[in-house]
Amino acid sequence: MLMLENLWNVIENEIQNSHNINMLNQIKIKYLGKNGVFNNYMKNLKSFSFEEKKKFSTIINKVKKKTIFSINIKTTELSKIILKKRVEKEKIDISLPGRYVKNGSIHPINHSIKFIKNFFYTLGFQSINGLEIEDEYHNFNALNIPKNHPARDNHDTFWFDENRLLRTQTSNMQIRIMKSNKPPMRFIFPGKVYRNDYDSTHTPMFHQVEGLIVEKNINFSHLKWIIYNFIFNFFNKKISLRFRPSYFPFTTPSSEVDIMIDSKKWLEILGCGMVHPLVLKNVNIDAKIYSACAFGLGVERITMLRYGISDIRSFFENDLRFIEQFKHI
């Protein structure tokens, strides 16, 4: 206990000479820890008399409080020094020129698909994605496409084997949805389709949006109203269009829709018609009770017309100069 009177001087000196938090923590453990100096002093008081215990315990507690207070003060000082060094290291020179960050943009195809979805949502349609690897039944047979149809040939379709292929149209989803749902129903099916063709107006992969309505008393006039309103909204203006009689195996009557472009020429942009009764029969829908209409449009085609793009391959060549033109659409 003879050293007790000089203990504070030793502790104070050690605290003042500590230059970092680790050194300060070691001092804290040394004196204030479970096996530290102060606890050992208190254990040794057991053999002392009552008066001595009272005297020395008072001194020990006094020195202990001063030690705790001094360590806290030193911890605050060292923390400020650390923070100051960190601030100096990380401070920003506001006179330096800023770094230019290039903002990305939505691909024009994705933008068009989003626009189409939003338009048809307002008419009560649901949007469903579908299988891109399809079987012969859903891609051809159930759609009333005969075995000898040229669309089944290798020069037009990518076949994996005798049954599996990359779908050539999103109409495959019409069959799957009508098989698994009961009328009434309104769906659109956006997605990728694949055909063995490549030039300035065709690519092996492109995007279609198929639309389907199955309800009682649906007729061709409803289909025309939908298409007129969609075209006017998509091009943001009233544009000349016509319905031209055509043939599709899965619709009757069938029509192709043409619009008048700036060169004063008619250009086909989509096909549509009333779903063939045989197609409804294939999915167990009674054609005497329900009627259905469908339409299909190529997203690339109408996007090219909307933005004046002459070559469909521009969408897929990953040229940033092309994509950057659509930042503000």
Q: Residue 200: what pLDDT?
A: 64
What is the model's pLDDT at position 2? 44
Find the angle CA(39)-CA(41)-CA(42) to the nearest 5 degrees.
Answer: 65
Selection from 304, 240, 295 nearest residue 270 by Cα: 295
Q: How far apart are CA 244 and CA 256, in angstroms?
A: 5
Q: How far apart are the first and last CA of the chain?
A: 85
Joined together, the tokens standing for residue 205 give: 């992969």
Per-residue pLDDT of the chain (329 residues; tens, 9 = 90+): 446 667 788 888 888 888 888 888 888 888 888 888 888 878 777 778 777 777 777 888 888 888 888 888 888 888 888 888 888 787 777 777 777 777 777 889 999 999 999 999 999 999 999 889 999 999 998 888 888 877 777 778 899 998 999 999 998 898 999 999 999 999 999 999 998 877 766 788 999 999 999 999 999 999 999 999 999 999 988 888 999 999 998 999 999 999 987 778 888 899 999 999 999 999 999 999 999 999 999 999 999 988 888 888 888 888 888 888 887 66
Packing angle, helices 4-16 and 21-32, rounded to 10 = 160
Q: What is the pLDDT of residue 51?
A: 78
User: 190 vs 101, 118, 317, CA distance in Å?
Assistant: 33, 12, 22
Structural Rg of the chain based on CA atoms: 40
pLDDT of the residue at 41: 78
Question: How far is C-alpha 72 from the chain's CA centre?
Answer: 50
Place of tokens 């942009």: 269
SS3 of residue 265 by DSSP: coil
